[in-house]
Structure 1
Amino acid sequence: MHAMQYEITLPADYDMGIIRDRVARRGHLLDAWDGLGLKAYLIRERGLRGSPVNAYAPFYLWNTVEGMNSFLWGGGFQGVGDDFGRPSARQWTGLAYEEGEGAHARFAVRRRRSVPRSGLLADVVADAVGEARALAARDGAVLAAAAVDTSRWELVQFSLWERDAPEADGDVFEVLHLSAPGRNLLPRGRQW
């Protein structure tokens, strides 16, 4: 599993209805994308749920590198670049994926933090795997994932929730659409 996200910060007075319309018109285009586990079309709105900014920030969990590369180099990502300029697409290697009992993803939480410089890496990632498991077990959780970027030594925890008061720490996003053609193929539990 591979995680990916790009976040486009928009002006403070930006009409977020433009993003809502964009997702309503184009979100279905990845509903059958080969190699995609899921794509959560996410937004943050300035002043809501603690957000200091307006942002469009889709988050992906890929089943295959080929699917991700096909999206990046084969045309899917081009539309984002054409409309907003080419954003940096952050990537993380998957550590864990867990399903929750929730059925409909309405909100997402992303928490990024540095991997501590001291201690055993095995302990750090074991904690991240345990956190994903614990998040997925909470009331209202749809799913939880953990991943790491070893170029920055950064952990990311990502979770989807049915309600707008998720039981997780981090940046809260609204889910406008969820494309999940290969969600059932995402490997459960620890990724090694």
Structure 2
Amino acid sequence: MHAMQYEITLPADYDMGIIRDRVATKGHLMNAFPGLGIKAYLIRERGEDSPVNQYAPLYLWAGPEGMNSFLWGPGFQGIVRDFGRPEVQHWTGLAYEEGPSPAALPRSATRHRSPVPPSTAPADAVGAALEESRRLAKAPGAVATALAVDPRHWELLHFTLWDHPAPQEPGERYEVLHLSRPEPERLGAGRQW
């Protein structure tokens, strides 16, 4: 599994209805994309528990082939054409779990990025993060949760989809406008090593 996200921060007075319409008309295009486990179309709105307006979709890919096909294909080129080329963050998957509400349509998501301190052994940090991921996967209303790591910057990523407003977990909270899940079974269950 590979996690990928780009964040498009928009002006404070930007009409987020434009993003909502974009997702409503184009979101279905990823519903059958090969190699894609899940794509969550995420937004944050300034003043709604966020300091910024932002479009920040997060993808969970089964492998690099699907991710590469998207990045070099027409879908991402449309993002580049309309918003400029965003920095694409990506993490190596460590674990994926479906929650108690796996078939529910998610309404919100949380994303928590945390550094692995230089004084902490990577295996210890990943072990503790895996326990936290298991806790999140069992939480009421959890649709699915993923844990990933960027070993270049030693950063852990927890990403959870919820069937209700996002709980006050650490990190950013997003509204989910649409969820494409063409191949979630290819993400595997549990830890990925």
| Alignment match, 1:15 | 15
Residue correspondences, number:
191
1:98-177, aligned counterparts within 5 Å?
98-102=97-101, 103-166=104-167, 168-177=169-178
The 3-state SS of whatever aligns with 1:134 is: helix
Letter in 2 for 1:112: R
Structure 1 runs (4+) greater than 6 angstroms displaced: none
Measure the CA separation in 2 of the matches of 1:156 and 1:29: 26
Q: Once the two structures are aligned, what percentage of the paired residues are identical? A: 63
**Which whole-Å deviations, capped at 9, do the CAs of 1:55-78 have from their partners, x for residues lacking one?**
000000000110000000122210
Structure 1 stretch displaced more, 180-189 or 18-27: 180-189
Question: Structure 1: any 5+ residue segments left out of the alignment?
Answer: none
Task: Kindly state the Cα deviation for residue 89 of structure 1 after the two structures are TM-superposed.
Answer: 0.5
Measure the CA separation in 2 of the matches of 1:115 and 1:121: 7
Question: Structure 2: any 5+ residue segments left out of the alignment?
Answer: none
Measure the CA separation in 2 of the matches of 1:158 and 1:10: 22
| Alignment match, 2:81 | 82
The 3-state SS of whatever aligns with 2:75 is: coil
RMSD: 0.9
Task: Kindly state the Cα deviation for residue 153 of structure 1 after the two structures are TM-superposed.
Answer: 1.1
| Alignment match, 1:93 | 92
Measure the CA separation in 1 of the matches of 2:39 and 2:92: 16
**Which whole-Å deviations, capped at 9, do the CAs of 1:91-148 have from their partners, x for residues lacking one?**
0000111100122211000001111111221111111111111101001111111101
Contact kept? 2:4, 2:58, Cα under 8 Å = yes
TM-score for both structures, normalised by structure 2 = 0.96
Measure the CA separation in 2 of the matches of 1:74 and 1:52: 32
| Alignment match, 1:30 | 30
